[in-house]
Chain A
């Protein structure tokens, strides 16, 4: 009896696996590499949703060059090995461009393989400003660089919040968070402020009581604390700091751009939090409104975090370049991407005018007061 069930089970699986690749006719294929399972999935899964949504909207409006756009989502399991094989898989499927990832280390495992083939790779959420330099001319970024977002919040903290002494908490297990802290300290000290305390934690930490006790006891007292974290730790740190009775302003970067910042501590404790992020939250530009409406219609829930909008923009950016190049040939597409000017993305206008290859985008400063988000200002890089 048991053996029979096994046979049935296995044949169903086999049939499904064999039937699957038969689908998909003549389309323009984009390979979307994301960590859809494992530790990074809460960041990457919404990005793929955004990317697929954009493709769907483009197809509903008639497609590109008379063809349908197909976004092939490849799960790389929060594993660098899977990132490398995933990139090779996408290339073997004949994608015209790759996109993906909200974290630099994974981009660095996948993007160089695209570069080697001369096929463009657009990262939707990785923000290291050196990425285009490290990978080469096929590497494109949708988001601003970590330097921009850190400078923005450092200037806001110093000038507008009037904080002259800060404490800096860094998630020491990630490159993104370390880079963010580095740039924040750089600009904050340039402005004349001092860093009175530096503390560290690791991704996945749930308990920050030791760091909080030290923050309480810091001498001289910190006027604000900069927390360099990803969304998973954003709400937890705010909640625990406020519960410990500390009321100093908490500042951060786009890792704090998540509902968790208000929902985890609750409206009473979610106060005096400021973060720099993509110009999207609480924004009323038509692109933003349309995106949120479409996302809610498609997935029956609001966008989980900014990465959803960034994934949406990544596909939009590539589609825009394909339209201008009137071709999907890799060199034409790469040139068209590099020539992107004033592309109206949900997360702000994208123009590749800097030698670094990082787009010049506005950075929103968002405040949280009594559990409500508000755009305080939009910061623009000087050069």
Chain B
């Protein structure tokens, strides 16, 4: 195993990890504010991917316009889901929201199969995003660099928003205690809606990236990002945005390195290794890596 080989594997892990991190940020954000494990998050990734496909490939709109449209579509779908499914059961035990999100997820998946068929579709990005960049022994594509920087920029923007703006303050207050926040004159419904809109817009953009990175999308693609963002967010410490990003990177690195650095026969055991590692991390840090020690009950 040469050092170039190992460097390449680490870069591959980081690229995959930033993909997971990108999805996990929005997930973690929604969780942080209303303590909702939102499995439908992955379906918004799927919707974002198909919106991109429709606008970019079939209508031929320019790329920046498409990205903007995907942000809006993601936000709108997020708001609709919040209004239709989650708002009526606000105040219910956390697990109720989780189960409802599974319901939303099943619904969206099957609507996708119904209207789009289950056939995977190819998804091609403009050439400048597909270029291969060679740095020493390591190669990656321009889209990977874009994904990585977007994940980092978004993390910065969100941290700024949550800690430095009025809306962010309202969000944190709502997260801390809904009733007290309401008494302080914060419009709870609007704050939660804004959170959903932002988290879901991020999921939409993640869908655009997901399609661009892998080049193929189908109506069931949301399951994997939904699951990985859940795992990433939990490993990082639920509710912590930097934690979600860290969790995403750990997950991506673990998935690539267990295949890349162990003898090939162990590739088949990858998921067992990955989850053993994650369980080990949790046993050492029972509240995730950056999570606060709070008594959570689902």
Contacts and interface: CB of A to CB of B under 8 A. Distances in A.
B44 interface: no
Contacts of A199: 264, 267
A331 interface: no
Contacts of A204: 224
Interface residues of B, number: 38
A236 B215 contact: yes
26 contacts: A37-B113, A39-B220, A42-B119, A45-B117, A45-B118, A200-B268, A201-B259, A202-B270, A207-B12, A209-B16, A210-B257, A211-B267, A214-B264, A231-B120, A232-B216, A232-B218, A235-B122, A235-B216, A236-B215, A236-B216, A244-B139, A245-B132, A263-B122, A264-B123, A266-B124, A304-B119
B255 A207 contact: yes
B63 to A, nearest CB: 17
Contacts of B216: 232, 235-236, 260, 264
A42 B110 contact: no
A217 B9 CA distance: 12
A266 B124 CA distance: 8
A98 to B, nearest CB: 22
Given A198-B265, A213-B8, A217-B2, 15 more contacts: A42-B117, A42-B118, A42-B120, A45-B117, A197-B264, A200-B265, A202-B268, A207-B12, A209-B15, A210-B260, A210-B267, A214-B264, A217-B5, A260-B216, A265-B215
A198 B264 CA distance: 6
B87 interface: no
B256 A207 contact: yes
A243 interface: yes
B101 to A, nearest CB: 19
Nearest to B123: A264
A41 interface: yes
Interface string A358-383: 00000000000000000000000000
A206 interface: yes
Contacts of A245: 132, 139
A167 to B, nearest CB: 9
| The 9 A-B residue pairs with the shortest CB-CB distance in the complex, in nearest-first order | A263-B122, A210-B260, A41-B118, A209-B12, A210-B259, A200-B267, A172-B268, A200-B268, A42-B118
B172 interface: no
Interface in A164-201: 172, 197-201
Contacts of A209: 8-9, 12, 15-16, 256, 260
Contacts of B117: 42, 45, 304
Interface string A231-249: 1100110010001110000
Nearest to B220: A39
A280 B16 CA distance: 38
B151 to A, nearest CB: 16
Interface in A274-326: 304
Contacts of A45: 117-119
B204 to A, nearest CB: 18
Nearest to A197: B264
Give the most central of A207, A211, A259: most B CB within 10 Å: A207
Given A37-B110, A210-B256, A264 B141 contact: no
Give the most central of B12, B118, B224: most A CB within 10 Å: B118
B16 A213 contact: no
B214 interface: yes
Contact of A207 (B16, B119, B139, B220): B16
A131 B220 CA distance: 30
B271 interface: yes
A38 B223 CA distance: 11
B264 A200 contact: yes
Contacts of A260: 120, 122, 216
Given A197-B264, A210-B12, A235-B120, A264 B215 contact: yes
